[in-house]
Amino acid sequence: MIDRTLKQLAQALSAKEISSVELARLYLDRIDRIDPRIKAYITVDREKTLAQAAAADARRAAGEAGPLTGIPLAQKDIFCAEGWRTTCGSKMLGNFVCPYDAAVIERFNAAGAVMLGKTNMDEFAMGSSTETSYFGVTRNPWDVGRVPGGSSGGSAAAVAARLAPAATGTDTGGSIRQPAALCNLTGIKPTYGVVSRYGMIAYASSLDQGGPMARTAEDCALLLKVMAGFDARDSTSLERPAEDYARDLEKPLAGLKIGLPKEFFGEGGEGCDAGVMRRIEEALAEYRRLGAQTVEVGLPSMKLAIPAYYVIASAEASSNLARYDGVRYGYRAPEYDDIIDMYMKTRAQGFGEEVKRRILIGTYVLSHGYYDAYYLQAQRIRRLIAGDFAEAFKRCDLIMGPTSPTTAFRIGERVSDPVRMYLSDIYTIAVNLAGLPAMSMPAGFAEGLPVGLQVIGDYFAEAKLLNAAHRYQQATDWHLRRPTIG
Ligand code: GLN
């Protein structure tokens, strides 16, 4: 049962092979048994989960079940869920029980999905390894000495270790795609504005986007259909007709033009591991066998993506995180003199190192005298990067390359070297700056560790991305491999 996809689980539920309560219990028992070794979850609440599962069974008995009714899912602890502790991986929100549901949670609830728990993440989604979480490090089920990637590392580890059949993530600079790559999953970051950010704790609002992490492209299509949709409560939510993201899954790939950016493949260019690159080349060969052609494209401004991103993301973070002041909710320092002292102690004690670093950078680049030199400059680079992609998509349908320059790295290896950590997202970050959709999918192994192939599309090309991924998954079985844990 635990190796089944969402589609297969839905069939099992509708065939009455298993009830949602039984299915939820199966996963909860596995979490009890295996999660102490992985630490994918921050919060599990057996009673709440089983009550939701019982409601799903009742709904099915009443003949009102949809494709996700009774399906257990793990939610990244960045999504507010009524009555659930929602921490965003921070001590600052360590005691915060949410009074309302995020739009994404509302939509899953309406579909009858069952929440298994809240997954671990880098504090406020700042990181690429889940090591900045206040709640401890999540371990990669493929090698528990290594990181699962981040910031959605808890979600990725949960799905990889079969502690959930699928999960949600959020991607500001790569946080769905990179952990999906490091844990052998399929994950998609939609076009900016497709999934509502209402109730999704803000990191860098112009870059943050929620999306699904699952084992197959087909499952991602199913989840994205539920997650996507206009929401007036999010001012950047896009008003578009509802889409069936699975509509093109089976379309043959004959004639598909795949763009290969020379900046991804160029000699020594971005420092991609040889073992990773070999798997990517093999995946491209598979695409050619499936009828696709490859063309070289250029993304000349890509090299500026990391610096521009860290200016913009930090600027937005410094503003978004100003709300954590100890007054309204979350942590408050136990002892202080006056209100200023209370703010200062609360923030000094409540935030971790990486978050403080971002707030400092963000406040600096937004300050009078530096705003033009850094923030405005970064915004201009952002425009150039979007322009590069627009040019590239005149010559190809999709862009492909590695998701991450390395496979999962060792716990502790990069924590003390922020720049090295930031380079983990070298292939993913430009996509967020441009607001494009992109995904990562399993493409084999290098020294026993998963390698992810990244596929980038033009705006609203989610169905095309999922089609390309699905056809590849019909031809290969990398995505079906699972780690030997429990
Ligand atoms: N690693 C990047 C950062 O730390 C991206 C994180 C994310 O996508 N949330 O900002």
CB-ligand 1 contact for 149 (6 Å cutoff): no
User: Which tokens go with 318?
Assistant: 């410094």
Give me the mean pLDDT over the 394-420 stretch: 95
List, for residues 209-239, the tens digit of each pLDDT value: 999 999 999 999 999 999 999 999 999 999 9
**Which residue pairs, CB below 8 angstroms and at least 24 apart, start in 330-338?**
330/92, 330/93, 330/94, 330/95, 330/96, 331/91, 331/92, 331/93, 331/94, 331/95
Is position 175 annotated as part of the catalytic site?
yes
CB-ligand 1 contact for 10 (6 Å cutoff): no
Per-residue pLDDT, 267: 61
- Which amino acid, residue 418? P
Strands of the 438-446 sheet, one edge to the other:
41-43, 114-119, 72-76, 167-170, 210-214, 186-189, 438-446, 449-457, 398-402, 257-261, 293-297
Model confidence band, residue 423 (pLDDT cutoffs 50, 70, 90): confident
Residue with CA closest to ligand 1 atom 10 = 126
Q: Is 344 exposed, middle or buried (0-12, 13-18, 19+ CB in 10 A)?
A: middle
User: Which tokens go with 197?
Assistant: 């950010």
Residue 406 clears pLDDT 80, i.e. is over it: yes
For residue 341, is it left (φ>0), alpha (ψ between -120 and 50) or beta?
alpha
Q: Among 119, 123, 175, which is best to mutate for testing ligand 1, by the most ligand atoms less than 8 A from CB? A: 175
Residue 481 clears pLDDT 90, i.e. is over it: yes
pTM: 0.97
DSSP 146-188: B---SSSHHHHHHHHTTSSS-EEEE-SSSTTHHHHHHHT-EEE
Specify which residues 117 forms β-bridges with. 74
DSSP 277-296: HHHHHHHHHHHHHTT-EEEE
List, for residues 65-80, the tens digit of each pLDDT value: 999 999 999 999 999 9
Q: Which atom of ligand 1 is nearest to the CA of 171?
A: 8
Is position 76 annotated as part of the catalytic site?
yes
Specify which residues 334 forms β-bridges with. none
Give me the mean pLDDT over the 28-50 stretch: 98
CB-ligand 1 contact for 346 (6 Å cutoff): no
Residue 266 clears pLDDT 80, i.e. is over it: no
CB-ligand 1 contact for 354 (6 Å cutoff): no
CB-ligand 1 contact for 174 (6 Å cutoff): yes
Q: Indicate the length of the chain as a whole number.
A: 486
Pairing status of strand 449-457 against strand 438-446: antiparallel
Closest CA to 332 of 350, 314, 351, 316: 350
CB-ligand 1 contact for 187 (6 Å cutoff): no
User: Which tokens go with 64?
Assistant: 């009102």
Q: Which atom of ligand 1 is nearest to the CA of 125?
A: 9
Q: What 3-state class would DSSP assign to 97?
A: strand
List, for residues 157-207, the tens digit of each pLDDT value: 999 999 999 999 999 999 999 999 999 999 999 999 999 999 999 999 999
Residue with CA closest to ligand 1 atom 5 = 173
Q: Catalogue all structural domains in the chain, each as residue range(s) with its CATH number.
A: 6-242 (3.90.1300.10)
Catalytic residue among 90, 129, 133, 151: 151
Closest CA to 245 of 226, 215, 225, 219: 225
Residue 270 clears pLDDT 70, i.e. is over it: no
